[in-house]
Structure 1
């Protein structure tokens, strides 16, 4: 595909700088590493489903918009259902995460999830290729990324492996950054980070779609830190959700009105709180017909559908009743913001806390 990409690239950089997401420390790296070099010819736009991009004009338009781009579906298999399995993150999120990583010259970084290779190339441009290692679980993606990164003029270590194990042979690192979501921070990452180092990763739970957590690693082998905003990423391949037990629609019970307090119930603060209090319960919300709705289900066949007009509950649990009880407790607890929550990871596991590590929620 041939086009004078420079005006598009310059416009994207200007927009990122104007938004405050791209600080001076990263501007030169973004200027030196244009996004389109890392986007394959076959891509999809994520809407309700993955929509193939079929023309050169649409390809260029998508590549230089501030949106994520699906770069692989169905793990690269043909004739699949068209489920996104790898993507190039939206530039705003890339800039936000790299800024939050707080790197300094000479520091060594491990990236979990190479994907298209753009993030690894940006790190190499900022820190030098010799200070960057990136690990990818998909051998085809790892090979493709290594090729395009080299063509762009950088040579970080691109390795094929399970990112949940980190990359022991290159440890210790000053920073670890994950570009896939995990349900639990692998302790291998803590063990492979130098004391005083930092781990930045999207954490995903059942009740929320994802949020960034930034952990400081102490000399005692414990990492602890706070959540710093929402972040939706594809799950680590080994952590993809299993199919849920079907809901028996014959058990439906109609309740009263939902009286949805959407301003807090749909927020990340409540999602973190409810995720600890209602383990295994999945929440989704939206307005498909113009009116706000919420859907709840667990993995064992209970569910609830809620609108302002009515509530329906299914299966053995009263999921809406349970959720509203937790919401009342959340409000009584001061309706904490996402930044009030944090996470501690130790050899014994991880623990979610509210306001202070000595106030665990789970």
Structure 2
């Protein structure tokens, strides 16, 4: 994972690099060897971990700039940076980090969403200040502390409605579908795995709507029919040829971020919620 991220980062000797999450200092050391220790800046939110990283780097005779602080804020005192690497997962790119990237600079980070576990993106700063680029592989990383989510409560089982379905859970597993679904159904959470040896998908929304599907049946709860919404989206995804991870990209502006398919102009729009019918 680290090798893929560093390859995508495309660091060159003399580049100024900001690393979000020093951890043990291993990747920090690799960056020092590549661009020079005077060009490496790394932040770590955990003080004890930051101290251990400093000790590890001292042992190697490396002395980059290290600071214990919240990575979401970056390190403005030394900006701008030619490259920013975030080994921790982001739910959205903080505006502080985007603003610390030099013109033409590159940010590489694993993104995470409530609909998918993780996908790494390479974003380049455009002439207008926006960041834009493509996803290039899946990666499940611990989220940045400020980006962690609280668990939702259980659905209201008194609203349970059960029916048969032809949509097999495994058709929702590919990361390409998860990226597409995350844009179409913002805020809806999806997890998948096995329940009593049966492949199962769980969906849940903040309004109490939920769905559990597996073994040819689905049970929906709450005011929305989340499974009907997913069936529609999966059908659209299939009509588009089931595009893979590399077909998707992200653009970050001062107003937020959005996903696109094939080209930045092809923004994936959110779908309107569908009310659940009595079954």
Moved over 4 A (4+): none
Unaligned runs of 5+ in 2: 270-279
Q: How does 1:1-362 map to 2 (within 5 A)?
A: 93-260=1-168, 262=170, 264-362=171-269
Cα-to-partner distance string for 1:207-252 (whole Å, 9 max, x where unaligned): 1001011011123211110111101111110011023133122222
Q: Aligned residue for 1:53? A: none
Give, in whole Å, the separation in 1 of the partners of 2:248 and 2:115. Answer: 15
3-state DSSP of counterpart to 2:113 = coil
Give, in whole Å, the separation in 1 of the partners of 2:210 and 2:248. Answer: 27
Give, in whole Å, the separation in 1 of the partners of 2:85 and 2:73. Answer: 13
CA RMSD after TM alignment? 1.6
Structure 1 range deviating more: 231-240 or 141-150: 141-150
3-state DSSP of counterpart to 1:210 = strand
Structure in which a larger fraction of residues adopt helix: 1
Give, in whole Å, the separation in 2 of the partners of 1:322 and 1:113. Answer: 37
Structure in which a larger fraction of residues adopt strand: 2
Contact 1:166 1:192 in 2 (8 A): yes
Give the number of equivalent residue pairs: 269
Q: Aligned residue for 2:275? A: none
Cα-to-partner distance string for 1:168-201 (whole Å, 9 max, x where unaligned): 1111111000011111111222221111111001
TM-score (norm 2): 0.91
Give, in whole Å, the separation in 2 of the partners of 1:294 and 1:175. Answer: 38
CA deviation after TM superposition for structure 1 residue 354, in Å: 1.2
Contact 1:137 1:161 in 2 (8 A): yes
CA deviation after TM superposition for structure 1 residue 138, in Å: 1.8
CA deviation after TM superposition for structure 1 residue 257, in Å: 3.5
Give, in whole Å, the separation in 2 of the partners of 1:183 and 1:357. Answer: 19
Change beyond 3 A, Cα 1:316–1:356: same
TM-score (norm 1): 0.71
3-state DSSP of counterpart to 2:266 = coil
Contact 2:169 2:201 in 1 (8 A): no
CA deviation after TM superposition for structure 1 residue 140, in Å: 2.2
Cα-to-partner distance string for 1:306-335 (whole Å, 9 max, x where unaligned): 112321112222111111111112122332
Contact 1:110 1:133 in 2 (8 A): yes
Unaligned runs of 5+ in 1: 1-92
CA deviation after TM superposition for structure 1 residue 261, in Å: 5.9
Give, in whole Å, the separation in 1 of the partners of 2:149 and 2:247. Answer: 28
Change beyond 3 A, Cα 1:257–1:352: closer
